[in-house]
């Protein structure tokens, strides 16, 4: 930004402003868009999952047998229904964890001003979330192991 005197009229100050570059940081821009659309998708996925488990099933009715029924058992052939359940949970898992990680990053960036603390918090949260996402995806892909009593 430079301030110069306009040659035609010495009393007029003309400020030449460089046009603000649109979408300078494409990574942040992509994440911003991701947060909006993943959020809208999660309204369907998360609320349907939460409603199913807490309103229709009820927490005190939770059983390992339900997990086995939906995921299928390890080593057993999977039905079309179980593939659909796994796909549903995989989408939910990846969207929720991506949305949560970036949300955490934004909150941490705003409140943890010491650079080392911010980076450390992000590293711990990022490692934990990526690890759990992979753990969950592997478990979904493999199915439930039979529970021996």
Partner 1 sequence: MQNVFTPLITTVREGLRYRGGENHLMWIAHRISGLGVLLFLLLHIFGMSMAFFNPPLHEAMLNLYKTPLFAIGELALAVCLIYHAINGTRIAIFELKPELWMKQKVATRYALIITAVVTVPWLAVMVGYTIKGLTEVK
Q: Catalog residues that contact partner 1 under the rule CB under 8 A.
A: 36-37, 39-40, 42-43, 46-47, 50, 54-55, 58-64, 67-68, 71, 74, 93, 96-97, 100, 103-104, 107, 110-114, 117, 128-129, 132-133, 135-136, 138-139, 142-148
Nearer to partner 1, 1 or 56 (CB): 56
Least Å distance between CB 47 and partner 1? 6
Least Å distance between CB 4 and partner 1? 34
Least Å distance between CB 76 and partner 1? 13
Rg (CA), the chain: 25
Distance, CA of 46 to CA of 35 (rounded, Å): 15
Nearer to partner 1, 83 or 132 (CB): 132
Residue with tokens 């991701």: 34
Q: How many CB atoms lie within 10 A of CB 71?
A: 20
Least Å distance between CB 80 and partner 1? 20
Token pair of 67, please? 């997990």
Nearer to partner 1, 55 or 84 (CB): 55
Distances (CA, A) of 58 to 53, 62, 64, 72, 121: 6, 7, 14, 21, 35
Checking 6-15 for CB contacts under 8 A at 24+ apart, the result is: none
Nearer to partner 1, 16 or 60 (CB): 60
């Amino acid at each position: 930004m430079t301030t110069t005197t306009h040659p035609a009229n010495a009393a007029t100050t003309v400020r030449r402003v460089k046009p603000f570059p649109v979408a300078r940081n494409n990574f942040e821009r992509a994440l911003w868009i991701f947060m909006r659309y993943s959020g809208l998708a999660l309204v369907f996925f998360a609320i349907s999952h939460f409603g199913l488990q807490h309103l229709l099933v009820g927490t005190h009715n939770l059983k390992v047998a339900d997990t086995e029924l939906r995921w299928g058992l390890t080593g057993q052939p999977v039905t079309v229904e179980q593939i659909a359940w796994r796909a549903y949970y995989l989408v939910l898992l990846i969207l929720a964890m991506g949305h949560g990680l970036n949300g955490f990053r934004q909150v941490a960036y705003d409140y943890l001003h010491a650079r080392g603390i911010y980076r450390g918090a992000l590293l711990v949260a990022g490692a934990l979330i990526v690890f759990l996402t992979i753990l969950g995806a592997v478990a979904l892909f493999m199915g439930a192991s039979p529970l021996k009593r």
